[in-house]
Amino acid sequence: MGSENPRSYQADGEGPVREVSVDAFSISATAVTNEEFSVFVNETGYVTTAEKEGWSFVFSGHLPIDFPETRGVVGAEWWRQVHNADWKKPEGPNSHIDDRQDHPVVHVSWFDAVAFAEWAGGRLPTEAEWEFAARGGLDQSELPWGNSLMIEGEHQCNIWTGTFPTEDTAEDGYAGTCPVDAFKPNGFGLFNCSGNVWEWCNDWFSTQFGEEHSLKNPKGAQFGTHRVIKGGSFLCHDSYCHRYRVGARSSTTPDSSTGHQGIRLAR
């Protein structure tokens, strides 16, 4: 588990590489789709964090040119606060998911993910479980299929192609999310463990891996302010966010929601 890639982000706490064991578990082959999340909402009346707050973060490149100016994130101004953006309206009021039923649900907070998981009879994976599954049986490979981003000139995942954040050439076939079963699965049959959308883990985020941390079924820190996310997204690019590697990791607050944050379930 972990990575000591020279290009890894030291502040993320990817290393040291350590041998970890996990008990048998099940994990979904794909991220949760808009169609699946719709069933959950229709049956329970659940209201997401973004809907309660009245806004969520949307990538500026997915907004119309004449979209009104809104507040951006300092240092990452391509993230814009968009009122009435949520899982049903990923780019704001005039958008919809009618043609994205098989795409991953986005704009879901950690609380939303937990609520869906409990309704579905599952849970969120631990970071260790997620990484074990994402590796697909490969030992310390950078990616779910090996170490090369492309195989014989073919793209294997949905990440940013072009110059971030100004031009996405969509050479991999997509500018934005893609269907949850796009591209080839890894050795365990899991799709899109690299790119497409970040996936919530149950763990609190920490960069400390001392002797007090168990290497048997590790569950992360006992408390914290941020939850672990894994896998990268369609916005990841080598020049900006080289975190679509399976050993990479990041974090965000559990109440946050964005247009590239999704869910994968475990049991």
Summarised one tens digit per residue, pLDDT across range 167-184 is 999 999 999 999 999 999
pLDDT band at residue 211, thresholds of 50, 70 and 90?
low
pLDDT band at residue 210, thresholds of 50, 70 and 90?
low
Predicted TM-score (pTM) of the model is 0.96
Which residues contact residue 259 at a Cβ distance below 8 angstroms, ignoring those fewer than 6 apart?
A: 56, 57, 58, 59, 62, 85, 90, 91, 106, 107
Please write the tens of the pLDDT for every residue from 35-78.
999 999 999 999 999 999 999 999 999 998 889 888 888 888 99
- Output the pLDDT for position 259: 98
Please write the tens of the pLDDT for every residue from 109-156.
999 999 999 999 999 999 999 999 999 999 999 999 999 999 999 999
Please write the tens of the pLDDT for every residue from 214-247.
789 999 999 999 999 999 999 999 888 899 999 9
The fold for domain 1-46+108-267 equals paralog of FGE (formylglycine-generating enzyme) (3.90.1580)
CA torsion through residues 50, 166, 248, 181, sign: positive
- Output the pLDDT for position 238: 87
- Output the pLDDT for position 4: 87
- Output the pLDDT for position 239: 86
Structure tokens at 196: 């497409």
Distance in angstroms (rounded) separating the CA atoms of residues 169 and 97: 22
Please write the tens of the pLDDT for every residue from 147-169.
999 999 999 999 999 999 999 99
Parse the chain into domains and list their residue ranges: 1-46+108-267
pLDDT band at residue 10, thresholds of 50, 70 and 90?
confident
